[in-house]
Structure 1
Amino acid sequence: MPRILIIAAIAASYYVFAILLNSVGTVILQSITSFEVSKPDASTLEGFKDLSIALVSFLVASFIPRVGYKVAMLVGLAMVGVLCALLPGIAEFWMIKVLFAGVGTAFALVKVSVYAIIGQLSPDTRSHSSLMNTIEGIFMLGVLSGYWVFSAFIDEVNAASLSWLNVYYLLAAIVAVTFLLVCLAPIDKPEKSNDTGSGAEFLAMLKLTYQPLVLIFILSIFLYVLIEQGIGSWLPTFNREVLGLPVNVSIQITSIFAVSLAVGRLLAGVILARVNWFPFLTVCLIMMAAIMVLSLPLAEDGAGAGATSWLQAPVAAFLIPLIGLTMAPIYPVINSVMLSALPKVQHAPMTGLIVVFSALGGTTGSIITGYVFEAMGGQRAFYLSLIPIGLIMLTLYLFKRVSGQLTGTEATA
């Protein structure tokens, strides 16, 4: 029962933050209409979210074990709950900026804590990978439900209405329930390292980057995020400009990619409880490459011109998003193997590095893909994803060797 309650608490926390973090696209669109802000101004919301995640993770990740994971999660949830409750009453664009800065700050606290707690609950790499994929899969379910939650509060008749802000009252209530769950969960206090100085803990986090395993890990994360952001961010544009689908259909079909990611991670959570991670991810990468090679030739220019619904869309519009099924397990499994190879006292600072490089890598990946898309066209931009797929195969092989050597050395010691 205590284990189930802890898993429920961290899963609920991830679920609510999935809704808040991935609502930025919807909020940008509504802010342009409701507050009459320019597109450049509205786009700054992404920066308020991502930069706060990266900055806070870098600065406080090594200190979180000193205050405790449970306390860090409660502080993050309380911060977001208060901001969500205040926003509809203030109803100003600057307050939305404050909200996303707060959401990013709180998520940095929660993610570092959740990853460390997963380490506490997992005795070996296989169980760690399984639980990690389950939690990340729940995150993707939160992403999906967020679209429906926000759309239910949008006034279709009066687009400029501020009634959509009332969604934050509902989100504040969900955060309150999650806060209670975390309070009740018997989360263990983190183990303390021998050196308890805060400055030494921060320095220890920086020193992690000098380890060969960590350097390979950072490269693997960057390559993965490059692919995911490249496809996820530019798939609607691909559907519109390459396939010629209407804007609404282009966006709707893109949701298949999010569904695929969610299903893929939940299935991987079950599969990885029975098989080794390395051959499983190798098969996933081969299938990713196969999907791109088989589907992109079907993506002829204007193939979806004249389509008015999903049923009239070309086959390529359905095949390409299915890459999410096979790419879904990679990110959580790499994180899991990385954390499993380190002592538990290093999980929090390592998670800080994970969050930092994920946030920075996501932005970089989207920019690179956008540049290639504009310079060489959508098909070639997506074909180029085969390069990072091949490179990930190499880094995973190195990852397996170095992590195995590290684990073997620790076992001998």
Structure 2
Amino acid sequence: MMRARTIITLALTYALLGLLMNSVGIVILQSIVHFGASKLMGSTLEACKDLSVVVASFLLVGAVPAFGYRRSLIAILAVMAFVCLLASFATGFPAMQALFVMTGLAFGITKIATYSAIGLVARDPADHASITGLVEGVFMVGVLAGAWIFGWFIDSGDWLRVYWLLAAFCALASFAWIGIRLDESAASTRGDGASASAGWKEMLALAALPATVAVLATLFLYVLIEQGVGTWLPTFNREILHLPAAMSVQMSSIFIASLALGRLLSGLLLRRIAWLPVLLTCLAALAALVVLALPLAEGVRPRADTGWANAPFAAYLFPLIGLFLAPVYPTICSVALSALPQHRHAAMIGLIVIFSALGGTIGSFLVGLLFQSVPGTTAFYFLLAPMALVALALPLVRRRVASMAR
């Protein structure tokens, strides 16, 4: 019972911070309308959250296990409850910048603590992969729920009140951790009993391993694909499929929902089937779906009466790539962490967070550049290249990680 409660609370905590992190697009839009911020000013919110995630991962990766994963999560949730409460009284755009700096720092710490805690409760590598898939699936459900929660408050006329609700959620989650016991002894000591110091030196030592290079390169390519699609799917819907502006954003939630479903299903599937065949099958299906869906988007004509009932079939089919894309990230993270002793998990997660942030930023930039430079659906066709590279890298990851575990 305590194990199940720990996993559920862990997943909900991670999802709550994910909701805050992924609200940046909505907050940019509302800051332009509500605070009179320019688009250039609004874009700084992305940098506020991404750079602070990197800072937290690099500078605090040793402090989190030293302070304790459970205590770190309690403290972060309490701080974010207070920060959200302050954000509800914001009177200018700098308050939103400060909010996302704090959110990025909190998310970086939360990801380190969450993935490290998974290693403490998992019984074996298959169980680790299953729990990771579940936690990442709930994370995506939180992101999807956030879009609708923010939308409801925006429609009500006072969107800043959403932070009252989010402050309450953070406070409740913080209290939920108080009654949970988590044995962190395996993470706080090395095999010889010495204290662990998983700081930046430990990260650099891990980064020099061939297995780590293979894992980080694969995750970098994955996040490049996911963020490239996620960031520019509304633009694809608007400019290529000629959907109304609001509908273009709403239909992009199909991608988020399919990512959530794919990760939840993978959590069940990986208990019974080896991870490499599952991921290679997913990548093959992913490429096939891209090749099938994008031609359907070509030649779509604008219509004045476009709605959900008569939207182009490609608008429903293409976002389903999230279903097959979803298992890759949590599974590779799980495989890498399962091969390492507990006291090195925090350092590896720090590296994963940094390279994920870089992959997301570069992926969004590259796809945006392609949308500007090439016609029609061609921009998304270019994502077949990193998909192929991920497929080629996976057998290498398995061999390298196996050697790291020995």
Aligned to 2:59: 59
Question: What amino acid maps onto 2:50 in structure 1?
Answer: D
Q: Check conservation: 1:249, 1:308, Cα contact below 8 A.
A: no
Question: What amino acid maps onto 1:184 in structure 2?
Answer: G
The TM-score with structure 1 as length reference comes to 0.94
- d(CA) in 2 for partners of 1:54, 1:131: 25
Aligned to 1:243: 241
Verify: 1:176 aligned to 2:174, yes or no: no
Q: CA deviation at 1:297?
A: 1.2
Q: CA deviation at 1:279?
A: 0.3
- d(CA) in 1 for partners of 2:280, 2:85: 46
Aligned to 2:251: 253
Question: What amino acid maps onto 1:93 in structure 2?
Answer: F
Aligned to 1:315: 313
Q: For each residue in 1:19-75, what CA deviation from the matched residue of structure 2 results, as whole angstroms up to 9, or x when unmatched?
A: 211111111111111111111111111111111011111111123211111121122
The TM-score with structure 2 as length reference comes to 0.96
Q: Which residues in structure 2 correspond to 1:277-296 (within 5 Å)?
A: 277-296=275-294
Percent of matched pairs sharing the same residue: 45
Give the match's secondary structure for 1:296: helix
Aligned to 1:208: 206
Aligned to 1:97: 97
Aligned to 1:187: 182
Consecutive unaligned residues of structure 1, counting only runs of 5 or more, are: none
Q: Check conservation: 1:49, 1:103, Cα contact below 8 A.
A: yes
Question: What amino acid maps onto 1:259 in structure 2?
Answer: A
- d(CA) in 2 for partners of 1:272, 1:91: 48
Q: CA deviation at 1:117?
A: 0.5
Q: Check conservation: 1:80, 1:99, Cα contact below 8 A.
A: no
Q: Check conservation: 1:213, 1:399, Cα contact below 8 A.
A: yes
CA RMSD after TM alignment: 1.5
Q: For each residue in 1:321-350, what CA deviation from the matched residue of structure 2 results, as whole angstroms up to 9, or x when unmatched?
A: 000000001000010001011111100111
- d(CA) in 1 for partners of 2:264, 2:10: 16
- d(CA) in 2 for partners of 1:292, 1:58: 36
Q: Check conservation: 2:18, 2:107, Cα contact below 8 A.
A: no
Consecutive unaligned residues of structure 2, counting only runs of 5 or more, are: none
Q: CA deviation at 1:178?
A: 0.2
Q: For each residue in 1:169-200, what CA deviation from the matched residue of structure 2 results, as whole angstroms up to 9, or x when unmatched?
A: 111111111001111111222332355475x7
Q: Check conservation: 1:144, 1:258, Cα contact below 8 A.
A: yes
Q: CA deviation at 1:300?
A: 1.3
Q: Check conservation: 2:235, 2:248, Cα contact below 8 A.
A: yes
Aligned to 2:84: 84
Q: For each residue in 1:187-246, what CA deviation from the matched residue of structure 2 results, as whole angstroms up to 9, or x when unmatched?
A: 222332355475x74311111101001000111011101111111111111111112222
Question: What amino acid maps onto 1:73 in structure 2?
Answer: L
- d(CA) in 1 for partners of 2:36, 2:404: 55
- d(CA) in 1 for partners of 2:196, 2:403: 30
Q: Which residues in structure 2 correspond to 1:338-353 (within 5 Å)?
A: 338-353=336-351
Aligned to 1:369: 367
Q: CA deviation at 1:392?
A: 0.5
Question: What amino acid maps onto 1:192 in structure 2?
Answer: T
- d(CA) in 2 for partners of 1:53, 1:195: 29
